[in-house]
Amino acid sequence: MREILFLNSLDNIAVCLGDIESGRVISQDGRSVTAIENIPRGHKISTRDIAKGEGIIKYGERMGHATQDIACGAHVHVHNVLGDRLSTESS
């Protein structure tokens, strides 16, 4: 049983298929990621270090950017991600 879903080889995130606890080592599909915090089911985990300002890539497409540095294995969500469109429009 897979615990996370890699959607595209270009992605820097994966989707958690169940609640993932901090410290959990996930090894599947020939890759390994260690969760560094608790991440709920359906939410995203970073699969590599992502620098502030760098794109968040899901489905091989840019769904927004990091508003702070995001370490590999972190919870990637509204606290550290902003959509590109929305941020441009509201500035």
Partner 1 sequence: MSALTGFKRSDGRWGFRNHVLVLPLHQVLSNTAREVEGLVDGAVAVSHDWSGEVDSDFERIAKVLAGIANNPNNFATIFLTVGTPIETEIITRSRSLGATELHVLSLSELGSMTALLAHATNLATQLTQKATAVVRVDAPMSAIVLGLECGGSDAYSGITANPALGLASDRLVAQGATSILAETMEILGSEHLLAARAITPEVGKQIIDVVARYERSISYEGIDIRGAQPSRGNIEGGLSTLEEKSLGAAKKAGSAQFTGVLEYADTPPTPGLYFMDTPGHDIEQLTAFAGAGVNITVFTTGRGTPTGSAVMPTIKVATNSEMGLVLTDLIDLNAGTISDGVQTLDEVGDLIYQEILDVANGKLAKAEINGQHEFNLSRLYGSTL
Distance separating alpha carbons of residues 73 and 86, to the nearest angstrom: 26
DSSP reduced 3-state for 12: coil
Does 36 contact partner 1 by CB under 8 A?
A: no
- Binder among 3, 49, 54, 72 for partner 1 (CB under 8 A): 3
Does 71 contact partner 1 by CB under 8 A?
A: no
Distance separating alpha carbons of residues 16 and 89, to the nearest angstrom: 30
Does 24 contact partner 1 by CB under 8 A?
A: no
Does 40 contact partner 1 by CB under 8 A?
A: yes
Does 81 contact partner 1 by CB under 8 A?
A: yes
Does 78 contact partner 1 by CB under 8 A?
A: yes
By CB under 8 A, name the binding residues for partner 1.
Answer: 1-3, 5, 7, 15-18, 29, 40-44, 56, 58-64, 76-78, 81-86, 89
